[in-house]
Amino acid sequence: MRTTVTLDPDVERALRERMAREHVSFKRALNDAVRDSARDRGDIGTPFHTPVFDLGQPTTDLTKANSIAAGLDDEDIAKHLRA
């Protein structure tokens, strides 16, 4: 899987040190670090279940939710600029 992550400076430093120490690529160092962390916590293979609740029929048409949210953001920005 490809994804983009933002690493804190100390995490990047630790990964770079691991790369140098083990003579591996950044990808390998990152994957190994994640595996080691998950293994230490015992979470590998443990399924996570999110409870699901029936909220009934929506009371608002959400087909244009993104444009509504953008409008609210614009209003908030304008309010802060006026202040």
Specify the pLDDT at position 44. 56
Q: What is the pLDDT of residues 2-51, one digit of tens each?
A: 889 899 999 999 999 999 999 999 999 999 999 888 776 655 567 788 99
The answer to whether residue 32 is domain-embedded is yes
CB 69 within 8 A of CB 63: no
Distance (Å, rounded) from C-alpha 26 to C-alpha 15? 7
The answer to whether residue 69 is domain-embedded is no
- Has residue 83 got a pLDDT over 70? yes
The answer to whether residue 46 is domain-embedded is no
The answer to whether residue 29 is domain-embedded is yes
Range of the domain at 34: 9-41
The answer to whether residue 27 is domain-embedded is yes
| pTM for the predicted model, two decimal places | 0.46
Number of domains into which the chain is organized: 1
The answer to whether residue 13 is domain-embedded is yes
